[in-house]
Each structure stands twice: as C-alpha cells, then as structure tokens.
C-alpha cells in the first residue's frame, strides 16, 4: 500500500502566493533528478528520503481545510516524478479543491497525462535552453523543458512560466534572450523570481541578485501578464 502513496516531503498549510488568486495548501513531493545549484529546497532532491507525513494523514488534514481553502498545489521536488501523482490529484479533487501544479517539465509525457486534472500550472523555465545543462547539472535537460513548454501552451490550462534570476546563472542578458524566445512561442504569462539564498548548499552561488527597474520594465512589455517577485 505504501508504494501506492504519494511521497510527501513536506507541506505548507496556507499560502496566498503559490496559486495566483487562490488560497491554497502546498504539498511538496519528494524527489527531483535535477541538481540546480541555486535550489533552495535541496532536501527535497533525494527520492529515497523518508516521507515527512503519510499520504492518508495528508488527506485527513486537507479534509479539515474544506471550505477554508480554494486549492491544493503539488510542488517539489518534481511532482511528476511520483508515479501516483495522478491518483493523488484525483483524491484532492474529490474533496472539492482546485489543483495547482509546480513543475520544471522534467517529464513531458507525465505532465501531459495529468494536465486534464490541473486547473493551473506554474512551469519553471530555468534559463536559456542553451544554458540548461549548466544550471540543472543534467545533460540534455533543455529538450524536456522545451517539450513541456509546448505542451502547456497547447493544453489550454491556465499557466505561468517563471524564471529565477541569479547573478551568475541567469543574468539579465540571459533573461533578455529567454523572454524574447518565450514570447515568440506564444507565452503570455510570465514571472521573474529573485534568487533566494536560504537553503542553497552551493556557497559559491550564494549572492544577492538586484534587478534594474528599467530592465524589468523592458521584460514586462513582452507579455500580456507579468509578475516580478522579489526575495523575501
């Protein structure tokens, strides 16, 4: 039975920022095959870590939130890594919640298979596709991200593409090239997120990132809806 339970690495009881316009709980799914140097949740990377809470207990908690929350967001880690994600989403929907998904698009086919259950998806675009291997530490990772972006745009599911801006890994020059490319393939909703050093294990990458107001304004013009998220 345990093998058929979503592996929960942690959860947030309440958030107003992880699913735009909705009050939500966030479930962090354990496991991610990528090793992004600036990751602020490295404890969620190992798939073999013990779950923080049993799935049945997670569902029991969510049952107490019915009528208080609008949605449940599956985040990570990488949620599509878990083989029972679809079942977990169905269980959450049966409680009456909307379903949000945070993903890096690592498994495009699995993403496509669950999108019919998803009410909103946040797709993490790591950087320019040419720089993906350097950012993720995994060769060929850009192909998955490109495929995932196409799937999301064609799905009709409300979405947000987002990129973490880092002073060395995703510079303003990278962001300019990336956002021009994303706008060119039809992305209309996009967010920039300032790098958060909290939790980052790579000391060489721990540095604050500052964004020029004029630069942000230029990026904003490329999208119908744009959000700038500063570091906490």
Residue 130 clears pLDDT 90, i.e. is over it:
yes
Radius of gyration of the chain from its Cα atoms, rounded to whole angstroms: 17
With a threshold of 0.85, does the pTM exceed it?
yes
Cα distances (angstroms) measured from residue 188 to each of 89, 145, 223: 26, 17, 5
At 98 the pLDDT is 99
At 194 the pLDDT is 79
At 223 the pLDDT is 98
At 209 the pLDDT is 54
Apex CA 74: angle with CA 68 and CA 78, to 5°? 165
CB 77 within 8 A of CB 45: yes
Q: Give per-residue pLDDT as tens, 160-217.
A: 999 988 777 778 888 999 999 999 999 999 999 877 655 545 554 445 556 678 989 9
Q: Give per-residue pLDDT as tens, 28-44.
A: 999 999 998 778 788 89
Rounded average pLDDT over 215-227:
95
- 2 burial via Cβ count (<10 Å: 0-12, 13-18, 19+): exposed
Rounded average pLDDT over 6-30:
97
Domain that holds residue 101: 2-229
Q: Which of 170, 126, 171 is nearest to 145 (CA)?
A: 126
Least reliable range by pLDDT among 154-163, 201-210, 221-230: 201-210
At 1 the pLDDT is 41
Q: Which of 84, 146, 69, 147 is nearest to 117 (CA)?
A: 84
**Number of helices followed by number of strands (H, E) in the chain:** 7, 8
Rounded to 10 degrees, what is the CA torsion of 189, 171, 139, 120? Answer: -20
Number of structural domains in the chain:
1
At 139 the pLDDT is 95
CATH number of the domain to which 125 belongs: 3.20.20.70
Beta strands in the chain (DSSP E): 8-15, 24-29, 71-76, 98-103, 120-124, 159-165, 189-194, 225-229
As a whole number, the mean pLDDT across the chain is 91
Rounded average pLDDT over 112-118:
98
CB 225 within 8 A of CB 189: yes
Q: Give per-residue pLDDT as tens, 77-101.
A: 999 999 999 999 999 999 999 999 9
At 154 the pLDDT is 98
Tell me the C-alpha distance between 230 and 232, whole Å: 6
């Amino acid at each position: 039975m345990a093998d058929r339970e979503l592996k929960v690495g942690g959860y947030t009881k309440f958030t107003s920022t992880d699913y735009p316009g909705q009050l939500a709980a966030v479930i962090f799914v354990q496991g991610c095959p990528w090793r992004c140097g600036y990751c602020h949740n490295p404890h969620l990377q190992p798939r073999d870590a013990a779950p923080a809470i049993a799935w049945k207990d997670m569902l029991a908690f969510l049952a107490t939130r019915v009528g208080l929350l609008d949605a449940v967001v599956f985040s990570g880690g990488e949620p599509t890594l878990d083989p029972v994600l679809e079942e977990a989403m169905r269980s959450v929907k049966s409680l009456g919640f909307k379903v949000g998904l945070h993903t890096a698009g690592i498994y495009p086919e699995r993403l496509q298979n669950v999108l019919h259950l998803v009410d909103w998806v946040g797709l993490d675009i790591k950087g320019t596709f040419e720089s993906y291997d350097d950012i993720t530490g995994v060769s060929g990772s850009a192909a998955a991200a490109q495929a995932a972006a196409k799937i999301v745009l064609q799905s009709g599911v409300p979405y947000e593409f987002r990129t973490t801006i880092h002073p060395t890994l995703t510079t303003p020059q990278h962001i300019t090239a990336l956002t021009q490319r994303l706008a060119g393939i039809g992305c209309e909703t996009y967010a920039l997120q300032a790098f958060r050093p909290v939790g980052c294990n790579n000391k060489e990458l721990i540095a604050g990132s500052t964004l020029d107001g004029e630069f942000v304004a230029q990026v904003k013009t490329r999208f119908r809806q744009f959000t700038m998220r500063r570091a906490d």
